[in-house]
Amino acid sequence: MSSQGELLGNVLSNQRHTAEILQVLFDTLDRVILVIDPKTRTIRHANQAIEAVFGYTPDQAVGSSTRFLHLDEQHYAEFGHLSEAVLDRGKTFKTHYQMRRSSGESFPAEITVSAISRSGTWLDGVVSVVRDLSHQRREEELHRRNQERLRAENLEREKELRCLDDLSTAISTFRNDAAGLLQQVVRRIPVAFQRPKSTFCRFRGPSAEYRSEPFRRAGSVLARSLRVGDREYGTLEVYLDGAGLPDHDAPFLPQEQKLLEVVGERLERAIEQQLDKQALLEASRKFSAVYESALDPIVILDDQARYVEVNQATVNLSGYSREELLAMGPLDIMVADQAKHFQKRWREFRRRGWSTGEMGVCCRDGRIFTLEFHAVADVLPGVHISINRNITERKQRQAQLETALHEREIFLKEIHHRVKNNLQLVSSMLHLQAGAVENEEIRKAFLPAQNRVRAIALLYGQLLQSGQMADVQLDSYLRAVTDTLATLNLQVDVRLQAEPVKLHIDRAIPCGLIVNELVTNSLEHAFPGGRGGTVTVRLRRSSAAQLILSVQDNGVGLSQPRPGGEKLSLGMELVNALAAQLDGSVAFAGGEGTHVEVRFPP
């Protein structure tokens, strides 16, 4: 008995535990569960969800008729007829039905009605499960509206795409008829907008205006200025007649504003490209005219140094046809000694971007011409141009001139050499003549003339040594003159302080003679009785436009000549004459001894 009691206790305990679990599930479900008496349609049990869905607590619902959950009496009766099938045949049915909350608000619900049975026997009760469909219906309505909005947007997008496609076709076939293109644009834009019958378009430019048909200026306008290059080309305007539109509706959709912007950008690009093409075509015509009529050979090459275009002057010079030249390159007509260096020079040309120089070319008939070329790399990507000039005759004339100049230099050298020899001969003759004269005074008279001739002979000797035919280094020439004069009086030190100066022979001779006269004068008169001293010759630039040549001694000195006073010596008269020949002036400077300065332009 105790075992049976324990078993019975366990069974009862398990049943209670199961009942508790079912009760928790019953109360926590989000759907309303009602146990209803089928005869009286009163509520026997209700879970907690009834309060969330209907607004009634379970205590308020239990014992009440389900009438208060329906919209009205008729609604209540109709649902009763639907539930009779459950009681009569034990079937379950599901339906969507409008129910009412405690607030009076109606809401859609899904109701499932089932009979309660045990061991195949129908009990006197039904279970009604009610699911609130309000949130689902709101979601469905939102989804439906979104779908409608998407369909509307897709339709608008399709219209925009059709418009853009039509305009793209018109723009791609656009050649030179800007008026025709703009007329197509103003005709097609209204069709792409959401209210085609109330939308009008026009283009307004400085000298032309194009309108859609029909057209009228309405209250709302969307405008897009067109700029081509740096100038205003016109304005594209879209008008909307907003009569009958809701106040809260914007006159133009954002997509329509974007569409007008895209159309404006494409129009600007198309017109600018066409204008660029026209400018390029005009420039090409001008270039072709200049290119073909140029007297100088002009060639265009590719990256492989092959001709891709040659002008008529190139054809005429080379003797090859245009077709033959276009299968060739510079390497094919270049003289052999230059051809071996061509690849290196071509790489250097590509690296630097330009090149100039001379090139020998061999023509079809074997003649060789010299071309002076100026080449520029990549005037367009992979396109290089070379402008050439036939300088063959110029080179020949230059060679002839160089030959003539060389012959002239040889001739002048021969003349200078003979002049030098003749002057030395004259100097020797004067020396011999002086030696044959017994009178000391007469013998001394020969010495200045001999020194003057020697000074001129020294200049021609300098010219022969330097190889110059016209200019002489004056400082070197004066060095030779002073070194020669220093031998006349070994008791006196003759010094030279000279800056490097180059003068023409016609101006160097007077300078040498001036130094000869002044130094000779100092050697003869500044140091009487065999006394020693110093004579200093200086040559310097006081400015870019003036040279100063001076001779100074530290001897006894000479009285400066006064105007109207004693007559000048022959030597000083010669110095003044030579200074005048140089466009210079002579002055006596102060200081110890005698100091004479000659200032003259170089």
pLDDT digits (tens, 9 = 90+) for 141-157: 888 888 887 776 667 66
Most confident of 17-26, 379-388, 433-442, 568-577: 379-388
What is the C-alpha R_g of the chain?
A: 62
Mean pLDDT of 560-571: 55
- Identify the pLDDT of residue 97: 85
pLDDT of 435 higher than 90: no
Of 243-252, 333-342, 587-596, least confident by mean pLDDT is: 243-252
| CA 426/CA 394 separation, integer angstroms | 46
CATH number of 139-275: 3.30.450.40
Is residue 296 classed exposed, middle or buried when 0-12, 13-18 and 19+ CB atoms within 10 A define those classes? Answer: middle
pLDDT of 36 higher than 60: yes
Mean pLDDT of 78-105: 79
- Identify the pLDDT of residue 378: 92
What architecture does CATH give domain 470-602? 2-Layer Sandwich (3.30)
Q: Are 437 and 443 in contact (CB under 8 A)?
A: yes
- Identify the pLDDT of residue 1: 46
pLDDT of 395 higher than 90: no
- Identify the pLDDT of residue 365: 92
- Identify the pLDDT of residue 3: 56
pLDDT in tens, 211-240: 988 888 877 888 988 988 888 889 999 998
Mean pLDDT of 266-276: 82
- Identify the pLDDT of residue 406: 66
What are the extents of the domains in the chain? 24-132, 139-275, 296-385, 391-466, 470-602
pLDDT tier at 555, thresholds 50, 70, 90: confident
Of 243-257, 492-506, 521-535, least confident by mean pLDDT is: 243-257
Is 226 strand, coil or helix? strand
Greatest Cα pair distance in the chain: 194
pLDDT of 122 higher than 50: no
| CA 376/CA 352 separation, integer angstroms | 9
Q: Among 2, 61, 71, which residue's Cα sits nearest to residue 33?
A: 61
pLDDT tier at 467, thresholds 50, 70, 90: low
Mean pLDDT of 125-139: 87
Residue 254 structure tokens: 């954002």
- Decide whether 24-132 matches 139-275 in CATH topology: yes
Q: What is the mean pLDDT of the chain?
A: 81
Q: Among 32, 25, 60, which residue's Cα sits nearest to residue 47?
A: 32
Other CB atoms within a 10 A radius of the CB of residue 187 amount to 15
Q: Tell me which amino acid residue 357 is.
A: G
Helices (H), 497-569: 505-525
CA contacts within 13 A on the Cβ side of 282: 5
pLDDT of 177 higher than 90: no
Q: ∠ CA(311), CA(313), CA(319), 5° rounding?
A: 105
Mean pLDDT of 22-46: 79
Those residues with Cβ within 8 angstroms of residue 210's Cβ, 6 or more apart along the chain or in another chain: 179, 182, 183, 186, 202, 203
| CA 382/CA 449 separation, integer angstroms | 78
pLDDT in tens, 483-526: 888 888 888 899 999 999 988 888 888 888 888 889 888 888 88
> Hey, CA dihedral for 23, 27, 28, 34, is it positive or negative?
positive
Is 554 strand, coil or helix? coil
- Identify the pLDDT of residue 583: 92
Mean pLDDT of 557-585: 72
Other CB atoms within a 10 A radius of the CB of residue 128 amount to 21
Pick left, alpha or beta for residue 557 (phi over 0 → left; psi -120 to 50 → alpha; otherwise beta). left
- Identify the pLDDT of residue 564: 46
CATH number of 296-385: 3.30.450.20
pLDDT tier at 563, thresholds 50, 70, 90: very low
Task: Give the CATH number of domain 24-132; options: 3.40.50.261, 3.30.450.20, 3.40.50.460, 3.30.465.10.
Answer: 3.30.450.20
Query: φ, ψ for residue 84 (rounded to 5)?
Result: -65, -30
* % the chain with pLDDT above 70: 75
Mean pLDDT of 323-335: 93
pLDDT of 160 higher than 70: no
pLDDT of 416 higher than 60: no
pLDDT of 12 higher than 70: no
Is 133 strand, coil or helix? coil
Those residues with Cβ within 8 angstroms of residue 211's Cβ, 6 or more apart along the chain or in another chain: 186, 200, 201, 202
What b-and-e string marks burial along 104-127, b requiring 16 or more CB atoms within 10 Å of the CB? Answer: eeeeebebebebeeeeeebeebbb
Report the Cα 587 to chain-centroid distance in Å.
67
pLDDT tier at 562, thresholds 50, 70, 90: very low
| CA 222/CA 201 separation, integer angstroms | 9
pLDDT in tens, 279-308: 877 887 888 888 888 889 999 999 999 999
pLDDT in tens, 258-270: 888 888 888 888 8
Length of the chain in terms of residues written: 602
Mean pLDDT of 371-383: 92
- Identify the pLDDT of residue 8: 54
pLDDT of 343 higher than 80: yes
